[in-house]
Structure 1
Amino acid sequence: MKQKLLLMAAGGTGGHMFPAQALAEAMLRKGWRVKLSTDARGARYTGGFPHSTEISEVSSATFARGGILAKALVAPKIAAGVLSMALQMRKDRPDAVIGFGGYPSIPALGAATLLKLPRMIHEQNGVLGRVNQLFATRVAGVACGTWPTDLPENVPHEHVGNPVRTAVMERAGAGYIAPGDYPMSILVMGGSQGARILSDVVPAAIAALPDEIRRHLRISHQAREEDQARVEEFYASHGIPAEVQPFFHDVPARMSEAQLVISRAGASSVADISVIGRPSILVPYAAATGDHQTANARGLVEAGGAIMIPESALDAAALAEQMTAVLSNAGAANQMSLSALQAGVPDATERLVALVEQLAEEG
């Protein structure tokens, strides 16, 4: 019997790639072949994918960046990518195609549309990204990671949640140690975009905390490469033990050990925080398309698992006040941890697997 083939297409951010990785892990366990189509940016995130995932870099482009000449070359590049993918699909026909958003998913979804192959999209955020908007009415349905998701009328959809990687699932519901008079950890995550404001504000907020809290803290802070040295220097000059890196490969471990997470509200970050179950302060990225990070944060905030501070209201004093409220009240922090867990969808991967299998059967 021929081995079934899933073709996944995802753009170059962790928000797109982490759910794709979770689905790849699950489908390979079920005996499927799995191919991933992405671009050079996305390829940076493939180190965590199972080795048997077949990864190919595809020609794509965006109108959002570059000068006039770069923009003039976008359409030909996308057309070349779609044609190349169509030729590949005719030789090695996928049983199902799923796009996770981002410009690099255009060639695979475009080719699958031309060849009338079974196809669907997974939208991580509460607002459809530009590429998923383009294909929402041209696929069998939309699997929604955040609920509610703002969708066009009459588009078939199902709330599945955002799949999290195996490394996160291994820490799902890990016991929470509430803040107290002993060593405590804070994890600061800026995501793939817009980490600078956290590097500007968070160290100063931590330095402003009452001494009885600050002296117990150790910090893991994800900062842009160009900000790393100044952030390290600030923590060191204020006697605050901190590890500052552009990328942590062990985020699930650090998150499970943290008393508090300070983060952007990217869909994958929110999913990880809720599945592991940690109190968080979320600062949605103001420039995100359709303000989708505010939509992502809403469920966790309404459940009582997170505090949201809009970027426009973020300063060291406001952040220090909210951090103090969490870190000086063990009972409230513990309740936030439980509330975050209740907002999580730990079986999101299984729900998405079921939709992919159904798509392949009906295709």
Structure 2
Amino acid sequence: MAAGGTGGHMFPAQSLAEHMLRQGWRVKLSTDARGARYTGGFPHSTQIEQIASASFARGGIAAKLMAPLRIAAGTLAATWRMLRERPDVVIGFGGYPTIPALAAAWILRIPRAVHEQNGVLGRVNRLFAKHVDAVACGTWPTDLPEGVQGHYVGNPVRAAVAERAGAGYIPPGDYPISILVIGGSQGARILSDVVPPAIASLPMEILRNIRVAHQARGEDLERVGRYYAEHDIDADVQEFFRDVPRRMSEAQLVISRAGASSIADIAMIGRPSILIPYGAAAGDHQTANAQGLKEAGAAIIVPESRLDHTALAQQIETVMTHPEGAGQMARAALKCAVPDATQALAELIETIAQKGEG
């Protein structure tokens, strides 16, 4: 399997790896240095390799000119390894680090698939959509190229999330309450700019009970932590939480970007959420991701274009002062979960692999 360097790509890959290893498969993950940061939660028996790739969307002119050479080198290396190991099937989860593995599988005619987490195909998955045996979709409907048939399986969640599925929800009240803020690796800065002052402006009868767990970019850690401290808010600010499932299950409210994996986790555990879709997301796919929870009455969507600390504070206060409504949001989120997504994706992969044997 191959996955790009964000949690949105890596977490579904981790879920599939956990399942396939239990079924007796040998699993190898191909990623880049960014993706390697997320491999700590993968089962120890997963083989992990870093491979050369590049993006045409990042860096200066020199980096863009070098991108084809890096991709070609990564593809040659992946092809050589696959010639020796001859995998039964290759699946890509999106992101530019998947290009070498999928290209090598196409060259060698190895059965292959992609899994798209969002309602709009990412650049790499769109590039390969007509050159794979199956396109598995985590969100439905998914905008697919003409002539491409999608297979709706849902977005797999990690075992640590599945273990907390439907965890009991304690509505907000006059006692310690938790807010979890998760921004993802892209576009997290605006949450660091807006969320702390929004929370600080809440009425004191709410604020005195609040504890915040805020995931922020490394360059924002100090200022975010300092802001909370200066306003006497109990906050744990870290660059990456390795225990998001636990923190989410203990939260009364989740404030998050609308990445597909975050949406799947929120639905599986069942928590009220305020979702702020990433405005620069391709095809505005994060807004599409969030619609299901919103329409179910489980989430409030705040468009980035209308995000400021006053508007956000009003939405937080609405949830925190209506415990019955918050409980209804939690129950509605659970109804949006797809608990068998990992099993469905695994069955699709096994079917593709069997066709290759034939």
Q: Distance in 2 between matches of 1:126 and 1:157?
A: 11
Deviation at 1:72, TM superposition (A): 1.6
Aligned-partner Cα distance in 2 for 1:208–1:68: 44
Partner of 2:227: 234
Structure 1 residue aligned with 2:149, among 156, 180, 189?
Answer: 156
Aligned to 2:81: 88
Give the aligned partner of residue 58 of structure 2: 65
2:32 aligned residue? 39
CA contact (8 A) 1:129 1:289 kept: yes
Deviates more, 1:85-94 or 1:13-22: 85-94
**Counterpart AA for 2:121:** L
Aligned residues: 356
Aligned-pair identity (%): 69
Is residue 140–residue 156 contact of structure 1 (8 Å, CA) maintained in 2? no
In the other structure, the counterpart of 1:353 is: 346
Alignment of 1:198-277 (within 5 A): 198-277=191-270
Query: 1:55 aligned to 2:54?
Result: no
Which one of 317, 321, 324 corresponds to residue 324 of structure 1?
317
SS in 2 for 1:89: helix
1:204 CA drift (Å): 0.8
2:176 matched to 1:183? yes
In 2, the alpha carbon distance for the partners of 1:280 and 1:288 equals: 20
Residue 75 of structure 1 and its aligned partner are, at CA, apart by 1.1
Q: Given the alignment, which residue of 186, 189, 199 partners 1:196?
A: 189
In the alignment, which residue of structure 2 is the partner of 1:310?
303
Q: Aligned pair 1:114/2:107, yes or no?
A: yes
Separation in structure 2 between the aligned mates of residue 233 and residue 149 of structure 1, nearest angstrom: 42
Q: Which blocks of at least 5 consecutive residues in structure 2 are unaligned?
A: none
**Which structure 1 residue ranges, 5 or more long, are not aligned?**
1-7
Amino acid at match of 2:323: A
What does residue 338 of structure 1 align with? 331
CA–CA separation in structure 2 for the residues paired with 1:113 and 1:45: 27
Q: CA RMSD in A?
A: 0.9
Aligned residue type for 2:338: V
Q: How does 1:96-175 map to 2 (within 5 A)?
A: 96-175=89-168
Q: Which runs of at least 4 in structure 1 moved beyond 4 Å after TM superposition?
A: none
| Corresponding residue of 1:4 | none
Residue 27 of structure 2 aligns to a residue in which SS?
strand
Residue in structure 2 matched with residue 17 of structure 1 by the alignment: 10
Counterpart for residue 274 of structure 2:
281
Amino acid across the alignment from 2:81: Q
CA–CA distance in 2 between the matches of 1:102 and 1:226? 23
Distance 1:67 1:199 in 2: 27
Deviation at 1:68, TM superposition (A): 2.2
Q: Distance in 1 between matches of 2:76 and 2:231?
A: 57
Question: What per-residue deviation string (whole Å, max 9, x for no partner) do you get for residues 250-304 of structure 1?
Answer: 1000000000000011111111101000000000111111111111111111111
Residue type matched to 1:179 in 2?
P
> What letter is aligned with 1:180?
G
Contact 1:9 1:37 in 2 (8 A): yes
- Give 1:361's aligned amino acid: Q
SS of 1:218 mapped into structure 2: strand
Once the two structures are overlaid, the 10-residue window that deviates more, 148-157 or 276-285, is: 148-157
Q: Following the alignment from structure 1 to structure 2, what is the Cα–Cα distance between the partners of residues 34 and 323?
A: 42
How far is 1:347 from its partner?
Answer: 1.2
1:27 paired residue number: 20
User: What code does the residue aligned with 1:54 have?
Assistant: Q
